[in-house]
Chains A and B, each alone.
Chain A
């Protein structure tokens, strides 16, 4: 943990930089999602919303979230115990989502089943 005055002063600058990055990221998500006329080339994939919009949007969001977690929440210099705790949470949430995906693939959802 940054404890000296100089280190704290320095980290303040980092925080401001992250703040700027987050603002830019936010504007970027909106612009990419519905590009104004003069930026029409930002509309990747098909016209309108498609998987590319989802991927790009989530990528930007993940980047922003990582910035917040790493810099604001000090995950860049944290003790081991914290990584274990938070890592376990992330693993469980991923596992849960995968379980749902498995349920979604359940053969009972076969449309022929209802015919």
Chain B
């Protein structure tokens, strides 16, 4: 089929059709991204927590901006080259453009990866700790320089992150309808690893056939015998029986209820449904013999029980009884399950101070009384250092900007400029690093320092003197997450905007790469056609650049 007006412009619009099309698309894209940017504005205005200002490392974002601006120039140069019928130059410029897109995505991937492996936790008193969780080590292993085989391994042979809930599970009650197959498999495999077998606590009996009359005595069928080993197949067969019984009973109950309604309507002519509804009940005695037994759960026990590990998000833990997200109830003692940071790289009291001020408590005493300050010497020392540093930072501001003038023209003791909340109440990794350099003489330089700007703190080089070990009891934790959308609304909108933008980069790059790799034939047949295509692809590419021009300052610098 001949596509009209792709080389010669239409008379009425004066434009080729593809250009109209791309601009229509771009207009819809403006509205799409506009929606997310206003979402950002309102999330920030309505945030009930200290917004993480200027929290991302600027360098990767800055480099990515350069990369994208550069590619915007090369794509327009590629178009000019085609216009002047210089194929070789087109190839070079377009090649650079696509390479830039790839570089952008790689840097973005590095950035995402760093975030998704960085742990944050909010304690009960609203202080926040950030850092890296470690993996469990065998006893006696070198904590600072562990070998690969120094790690504790689970049944899969995987390392165990020190953020698991441990339950000595003596009894497992599965919901036969809702159990999650791979979790059961996981439990089975771990139990086998510990030489523990879960067996059925009691016979599972059920009426599986309706009786023909009320007087007939039914014999329950044994669906599973006491002592049968736990297996997915067993649960699945119980589920089948359960669903069968439920469907069967549903039909009978509905039928019974319907006939009750017919009788009720006849007995109460002219009355409205809601007036008679309380008197309409199924006569269970009459239909009882027809119903089957719905066995909804099955309980398995093990002598002593296995020590099972669960991710915090999958379990609602309790002292003696816990519940998994698939409604499995675990009876057994909750063991100590602390969250262990192998390296803490930030302590943040901003939220705690915000909460304290709401209650009229002074920030100093709130911090003084926080769990962190009370329980950890390193934090106390670090905070003392931090306070001293803040004093000198404030003095610098005073020297530079002076004090407010009072009514009588005299200087008051109110400084014109004060430290920000973030400076006052948060110690980030750079503060930790500075403290390490000043008090413990631990420093890094050269390539390592540059890498830190990109990937965050270098724990190996700076060591535990700078980024300490910290174990947090489970009951102190209010909320914990990686730096993912689950942590707060800032990260949610950050991932939404940059993720959507990333998808646009990938899509645009694919189209441009297609012109580069497969455009030769079209170029030889009808060069103006390819030129127009490249212009249209270029328009989209500039738009992607345009979005980033706003996303960078808003997400990284504000």
Contacts and interface: CB of A to CB of B under 8 A. Distances in A.
B430 to A, nearest CB: 12
A64 B549 contact: yes
A85 B24 contact: yes
B442 interface: no
Interface string B542-558: 11011001101110011
A42 interface: no
B472 interface: no
Interface string A69-83: 100110000011110
Contact of B550 (A61, A72, A96): A61
Residue among A15, A46, A72, A92 with most chain B CB within 10 A? A72
Contacts of A104: 42, 45-46
B58 A73 contact: no
A82 B80 contact: no
A65 B549 contact: yes
Interface in B19-56: 19-20, 23-24, 26-28, 30-31, 34-35, 38, 41-42, 45-46, 53-54
Interface string A38-77: 0010000011110001100110110011001100110000
A57 B558 contact: yes
B274 to A, nearest CB: 33
A90 B28 CA distance: 9
Given A68-B545, A100-B38, A30 B58 contact: yes
B116 interface: no
A108 interface: no
Contact of B27 (A22, A40, A68, A89): A89
A40 B400 contact: yes
Contacts of B418: 46-47
Given A69-B546, A82-B19, A22 B69 contact: yes
Contact of A33 (B70, B76, B546, B553): B553
| Interface SS of chain A | helix
B83 interface: yes
Given A23-B69, A46-B417, A86-B23, A30 B31 contact: no
B72 interface: yes
Nearest to A79: B14
Interface in B530-552: 538-539, 542-543, 545-546, 549-550, 552
B179 to A, nearest CB: 41
Nearest to A97: B38
Interface string A1-20: 00101001001100110110
28 contacts: A11-B80, A12-B80, A15-B73, A19-B70, A22-B549, A26-B552, A29-B553, A29-B557, A34-B557, A47-B397, A48-B420, A49-B54, A58-B553, A60-B553, A61-B552, A64-B549, A68-B546, A69-B542, A73-B543, A81-B13, A82-B23, A86-B26, A89-B30, A89-B31, A90-B30, A96-B38, A97-B34, A97-B38
Closest 8 pairs (CB-CB, A-B): A89-B27, A93-B34, A48-B420, A33-B557, A47-B417, A89-B30, A57-B553, A19-B73
Given A49-B53, A73-B542, A82-B19, 16 more contacts: A8-B80, A15-B77, A16-B73, A29-B557, A46-B418, A47-B418, A49-B558, A57-B558, A65-B550, A68-B546, A72-B538, A79-B15, A82-B15, A88-B27, A93-B30, A97-B38
